[in-house]
Amino acid sequence: MKPTPLLLQGQNYLFRSPPKTLDFQEQVHRMGMVDEGDGSPVPCVLVLARSADMEMNELSIALAERGIRMARIDADRCVDLPLTVYTDAPLVELDRWLLRPLLVWRRHFELSALPVEPGTLAGAYAVDQWGAVANWLATRNDWAHVNPTRSTAHLDRLTQLSDAASFGLTVPRTTVTTRPGRTRPGGAHCIVKTSGRHLLEPRPGVQHGLFPRPLETSRSSDAPESAPVIVQQYLPSETELRVFVVGGRCIAYQVDKLDPAQLWVDPDAVRVTPTTVPDRVAAKLLALARYWRVEVAAFDLLVTSKDHVFLEVNVNCDWRWFEHRAEDTLVSDAVHEWVAERFKELLGAGKGR
Amino acid sequence: MSLEELAAQLRRGEIEDRALAEYAAEYVTAGKCFRSKKDD
């Protein structure tokens, strides 16, 4: 019998995300509570996400407060969605609304969330069609994009590390291997982490966590893993930072935890406090964000006695988790303001006509 | 009603429409539930 892959061993984090409408604007429009206008296309922000993306649910309310229409296509609710996308005009007919997206943001629109029967032709068909169309929507040249997929689609964890190093940031020594038992980059103590996503969704709506974990020093098995993992040098650190970059601005939190998995398995034990990053570090992060063409992203850094060490950047980042623990709304406020300003800029440039 | 007015009602917790009040209650519950969800 094949052993369980290393990163799946002892991972008990499981989250159920039901496909429930939580988007404020969708709700009030469906209920016919909003003045409908004269039937002309309504300029909007178009978000491709999933129902439980609470960052986008909050954005919907924040944009409503500013009178900006936001429309939503969620991966877990898109099957049977009434949708027509015009190719000769930048317009979308979503349900009974004719919309003109000015700004498109794709995040957490994972095909694994589509509620289809696995292993069936009809299921594979729906997933393939939605995958192709979502990719196109997220790259259309006649719309502006937040974190454009064209730039971020290939921003995997290994590319991130080499890019960060080329911008002068320290990175841990790293190997990608199916033989973690034989690999110790930088010394005996190492961390194993996923080279892919932090959450796996083998069935729609059921998400399993894949957390970084210490590589047991006693592990010396030569049996190859079913898939390559990242084995990374363990660096003793004073603390960790999560730095959100929002439209050219850095918002940082200090994250104190006992082990890497605590973020997921024991979040109440994690201490999150607002902090600042030295100017020279912030300048490098902002330069990297510009290079990757990301406007909203989260950097994870280790603070060692000598340096700030780049661990990874997350483009589909969650900020409410950190805000809740820090008891502030700094990132939400910055994101809402940035999106609203960008929308107004595009509207003012005549993109809404 | 305008989007701005409806959003302001939601923020103030003064929703008059029953269906929207139900949505608001569900939203608060979901917010609490997803507080522990750590993604990226």
Q: Where are the domains of chain B?
A: 3-34
Q: What is the pTM of this model?
A: 0.95
- For residues A220-243, average pLDDT: 90
* CB–CB contact A28 B38 (8 Å): no
Query: In the prediction, which pLDDT does B35 show?
Result: 82
Residue with the bigger pLDDT between A295 and B31: it is A295
Residue A94 pLDDT: 96
pLDDT in tens, A5-16: 989 987 788 888
The residues of chain A that CATH labels 3.40.50 are: 36-147+337-348
Nearest CA in chain B to A61: B7
Confidence category of residue B38, pLDDT binned at 50, 70, 90:
confident
d(CA B31, CA A57): 10
User: Nearest CA to CA, how far is B36 from chain A (Å)?
Assistant: 7
A160 to chain B nearest CA, in Å? 15
- CB within 8 Å of B4: residues ≥ 6 apart: A64, A65, A66, A67
Contact call for B31 and A54, based on CB within 8 A: yes
In the predicted model, is pLDDT for residue A77 greater than 70?
A: yes
pLDDT at A219: 62
CB–CB contact A35 B36 (8 Å): no
A22, A24, A197 member nearest B7 (Cβ): A24
Retrieve residue A30's tokens.
Answer: 């469906």
**Counting one residue from A and one from B, how many pairs have CB atoms under 8 Å apart?**
84
The residues of chain A that CATH labels 3.30.470.20 are 153-333
pLDDT at A351 over 70: no
**CA-based nearest residue in chain B for residue A23:** B27
Q: Which CATH superfamily is domain A153-333 in?
A: ATP-grasp fold, B domain (3.30.470.20)
pLDDT of residue A353: 64
Per-residue pLDDT of A300-325, as tens digits, reads 999 999 999 999 999 999 999 999 99
Binning pLDDT at 50, 70 and 90, where does residue A352 land? low
For residue A1, pLDDT over 90 is answered with: no
Q: Provide, as residue numbers in chain A, all residues whose Cβ is less than 8 Å from the Cβ of B23.
A: 24, 27
Query: Does residue B16 belong to the interface with chain A, where contact is any CB pair within 8 Å?
Result: no
Contact B30 A20 (CB under 8 A): yes
Write out pLDDT tens, residues A146-197: 999 989 988 999 999 999 999 999 999 999 999 998 889 988 899 999 999 9
Neighbouring-strand partners of residue A83: A94
CB contact under 8 A, B27 and A24: yes
Question: Smallest Cβ distance to B34: which of A54, A209, A264?
Answer: A54
Q: Give residue-wise pLDDT tens across range A17-66.
A: 888 899 999 999 999 999 888 889 999 999 999 999 999 999 999 999 99
Test A65 with B20 for CB contact under 8 angstroms.
no
pLDDT at A129: 98
Q: Strands A229-233 and A190-193, how do they pair?
A: antiparallel
Instruction: Tell me what the mean pLDDT of segment A225-248 comes to.
Output: 95
- Topology (CATH) of A36-147+337-348: Rossmann fold (3.40.50)
Question: What tokens were used for A33?
Answer: 């509570």
Whether A221 has a pLDDT exceeding 70, the answer reads no
Inspect the interface and report whether the beta carbons of A22 and B38 lie closer than 8 Å. Answer: no
What's the pLDDT at A53? 95
Tell me, what's the ipTM?
Answer: 0.96
If interface means Cβ-Cβ distance under 8 Å, which residues of chain A face chain B?
15, 17, 20, 22, 24-25, 27-28, 31, 33-35, 52, 54, 57, 61, 64-69, 108, 197-199, 209, 263-264, 267, 298, 314-318, 320-321, 324
Contact B1 A34 (CB under 8 A): yes
Nearest CA in chain A to B17: A33
Mean pLDDT for all residues in chain A: 93
Position A350 confidence tier, pLDDT thresholds 50, 70, 90: confident
Beta-bridge partner residues of A48? A73, A106
Which pLDDT belongs to residue A195? 93
